[in-house]
Amino acid sequence: MNLIKPSLFLVVFILLACNSTKKKVSKPESEKFNLQTSLNKSILKTKETLKGLSSPDSFPRRINSNKINWDFVSVNDWCSGFWPGVLWYAYEASSDHTIKKQAEKFTNPIKTIAYSSAKNHDIGFMVYCSYGNGYRLTGNKEYKKILLSAADTLATLYNPNVGSILSWPSQRSKFQHNTIIDNMMNLELLFWAAKNGGSKRLYEIAKSHAEITMKYMVRDDGAVYHVGSFDEDTGKFLKGYTHQGYANESMWSRGQAWGIYGFSVAYRETGNQAFLETAIKLSNHYINRLPKDRIPYWDFDDPKIPNAPKDASAAAISACGMLELSEFVKDEKLKEKYRNTAQNFIEILSSKEYFSGDTNQALLLHSTGHRPKNSEIDVPIIYADYYYLEALIRLKKIAANAAFAQK
Ligand code: GLY
């Protein structure tokens, strides 16, 4: 989620962020990246999509090949919170109260998730992207209560023997106590709750979960395991697996992106230097292995590359993560590296290769959900749109803070 703090920043970056293009490739004026134009287009498309949606109980998730309109899922789907999240971001970027009304409408049904027993770690995605953004932007006290309840519900999955949250109770027979890298993203709800009237234990749970993930799931080269399997009684680490990636030891792109973002947030919330170093290690490994066009294939180790599908969602998530990370690294060169890299991803995602334009209802094309299951291959997916919008808003805030610091 978007938590940019004011910071000093280089004029060069503002110029790049506001109107940038590679000089040697002379694109027509209409195709050059402009932050505000990309934001405006995204807001407009979101408003257009809203016109066709009637039921607040179903949520856009993906657009299957050759279709124009979103496919919908119920509130129980792990992706339900992203559409209200998109609406909150569109409201934040536009101050348009008709969008705010819709954001409230699509947020409300998610309340049930906060008060049901926890089915998996995704409760963090579902509730924090919807109610978390809603509370941040409105201060609605009811939203706060729901968020606090959601954090307590998520914490019921914590296993003190292991020191981490059980990510997928339904996969216990296969992986025993499993902790997946995606779960790093859901710690923010716990950190937030501990600071906002919830139990301090939530902070300890989130910190411990991040420590266990860092210790066992980050490999020496800086790639992460998707799934860590642990003995639920002794806490012993048993093995690293993949579920959505190409192979256990491969680098699943979105998993790596969740890790980059998740460890950056864990550092922000705890000040533990090791989390910062981990976020840097993951980012550097990811950047070093990117293909020429900078948008990752769904898995960096798929032998079919370059004839493998891309994952724009990983690019959008890693852009947000690197912008977050850039707020905390002290070294100016490194700061610049992560900001410029993130901006570069956003520019490419905003280009006609990845921005959907009039093709369909989504903002972004070319994401991959679950390749091993042959599901959601090279399609628009709602979380790509969510993190793309977040990244644009983050960039805009950074540019504004930089401009302010120059005065
Ligand atoms: N958290 C599930 C996924 O990234 O596909």
DSSP assignment string, 227-283: EEEE-TTT--EEEEE-SSSSSTTS-BHHHHHHHHHHHHHHHHHH--HHHHHHHHHHH
- Residue 46 placed within a domain: yes
Q: Does 124 have pLDDT greater than 80?
A: yes
- Residue 142 placed within a domain: yes
- What average pLDDT does this structure show over 347-375? 97
Number of domains in the chain: 1
Query: Residues of 131-153 as b/e, b for ≥16 C-beta within 10 angstroms?
Result: bbbbbbbbeeeebbebbbbbbbb
Query: Between residues 80 and 6, which one has the greater pLDDT?
Result: 80
Cα–Cα distance for residue pair 129/152, rounded to 1 Å = 17
- pLDDT band at residue 17 under the 50/70/90 scheme: very low
- Residue 225 placed within a domain: no
Distance 37 CA to ligand 1 centre (A): 29
pTM of the predicted model over 0.85: yes
Cα–Cα distance for residue pair 216/115, rounded to 1 Å = 32
- What average pLDDT does this structure show over 152-162? 98
Q: Which residue has the tokens 């993951």?
A: 282
User: Cβ(190)–Cβ(132) under 8 Å?
Assistant: no
CATH number at residue 48: 1.50.10.10
- Residue 110 placed within a domain: yes
Question: 337: Cβ below 6 Å to ligand 1?
Answer: no
Question: 182: Cβ below 6 Å to ligand 1?
Answer: yes
The ligand 1 atom at the shortest distance from the C-alpha of residue 122 is 1
The ligand 1 atom at the shortest distance from the C-alpha of residue 255 is 4
pLDDT at 8: 44
> Considering only CA atoms, which of 211, 181, 218 is closest in space to residue 275?
211
- Residue 169 placed within a domain: no
User: Cβ(355)–Cβ(38) under 8 Å?
Assistant: yes
Q: Does 9 have pLDDT greater than 60?
A: no
- What average pLDDT does this structure show over 312-335? 98
Q: Does 23 have pLDDT greater than 60?
A: no
DSSP assignment string, 295-325: SPBSBTT-TTTTSS-B-HHHHHHHHHHHHHH
- Name the average pLDDT for the chain: 94
- Residue 336 placed within a domain: yes
pLDDT at 56: 86
- pLDDT band at residue 6 under the 50/70/90 scheme: very low
- The CA angle 236-237-242, to the nearest 5 degrees, is 155
Domain extent for 394: 35-117+128-155+257-406
- For the segment 66-88, what is each residue's pLDDT rounded down to a tens digit? 899 999 999 999 999 999 999 99
Q: Does 49 have pLDDT greater than 70?
A: yes
pLDDT at 24: 53
The ligand 1 atom at the shortest distance from the C-alpha of residue 370 is 5
Closest residue by Cα to atom 5, ligand 1, is 369
Query: Between residues 13 and 289, which one has the greater pLDDT?
Result: 289
- What average pLDDT does this structure show over 25-45? 89
- Residue 370 placed within a domain: yes
